[in-house]
Amino acid sequence: MRAGAEYFGDLVPALSDGESGERGAWVGYERNRVFMPHPDVEVVERPVQGRPNHVYEAPVFQLRDGVTEVDLGDWSRIDEALESYRLFRSLREQGVIPSDVRFQVCLPFPSSAISGGFRRRHSADYPVVERAYEAMVQRGLERLLEHVPAEDLAIQWDMAYEVQDLESVLAWTDPKQAWERFVGPSRRLSPLIPEQVLLGYHLCYGTFPEWPMYEARDMGLLVRMANAAVETAGRPVDWVHMAGPRYLRSEEDAFFAPLADLSVPDTRVFLGIVLPLDGAAGLRRRHETASRHLDDFGVSMYCGFGRQPGEDGRETMRTHRDTVTSVRRA
């Protein structure tokens, strides 16, 4: 958080805690903390010990025979957030974090948390686990808001499996239900967040183990999802983040052309077009191409800092700031 404030405190409305420790595996946290130890969940494949390196090394679950309802209890991810918020508030009181910067909590959307693990009997198990997961999310949001003032908070829904599901590249899911697995939770969960809280949607193709896990033909699906997010959220959506292309497609108009169909007039758009491969030169090319189809947008890393190889977190953040600010000045 100190490094985030140093490099980005004057550039962003909110800072997260970096999702360190077990959360560094993103939804691996839910697999290990929520599903694996649950008495109603059976681990049917445990390919590796320790942190998986790719999807097919992640554990596979199924509900035990006869289970039709599940109670997932309290979400320990919220405990992590509350501990971080106490540190965040202390650093802000010390002047380390700017006074107008909020605390951001990034939460996996249901399909991202569930679909990669419940592969064995996905069609049968998913509806049961989804209901339980959403109930856990609701309890978690209530608990979070008991301790963090709404005007001090930003929440981002993180999703990669929803995007891949809609691209029909998950062999174990029913593509006919993919759209509902995205918009259903949007209708049910986003209205639970008070309007004083900033709300964002992170739409990504994933980076596990490399970016992207699937390369889109263009930004058409992400535009459709962004439009639907704003339409179904039941409250204002303050930002949407959409992943960009591989670097060799930086000047490909056809990739960015669907941005002209965005219909999110009151929502800030961020394009994930900062890549660790080509720095400011690549960002400038992608920014110029995207600008032909979208007038106003912010920029960000393709997905996040967590899987940038060969550099420590501070160096990754410093490079990111230098890249963004150099292009902004130009």
Q: What is the tens place of the pLDDT at every residue in 171-206? A: 999 999 999 999 999 999 999 999 999 999 999 998
Residue 313 and residue 305 in contact, taking contact as beta carbons nearer than 8 Å:
yes
Task: Note the pLDDT of residue 47.
Answer: 76
CA atoms within 13 A on the CB side of 216: 25
Torsion of CA 44, 49, 52, 53, to 10 degrees: -130
Q: What range does the domain containing 91 cover?
A: 2-329
- Rounded (10°) CA dihedral 167, 169, 171, 174: 0
Facing residues of 11 across strands?
A: none
Q: How many CB atoms lie within 10 A of CB 123?
A: 11
Residues 6+ apart with CB under 8 A from 101: 5, 9, 12, 13, 14, 15, 92
Domain holding 264: CATH number? 3.20.20
pTM of the model: 0.95
pLDDT tens for 60-119 read: 999 999 999 999 999 999 999 999 999 999 999 999 999 999 999 999 999 999 999 999
Q: Please give the share of the chain, as a percent, with pLDDT higher than 70.
A: 98
Q: Other CB atoms closer than 10 Å to residue 100's CB: what's the count?
A: 10
C-beta of residue 161 within 8 angstroms of C-beta of residue 205: no
Q: Please give the radius of gyration of the chain, using alpha carbons only, rounded to the nearest integer.
A: 19
Residues 6+ apart with CB under 8 A from 324: 11, 274, 283, 299
Average pLDDT over residues 291-318: 84
How many structural domains compose the chain?
Answer: 1
Coil, strand or helix at 157: strand
Question: 94: number of CA atoms within 13 Å, CB side?
Answer: 10
The values of phi and psi at residue 159, to 5°, are: -145, 130
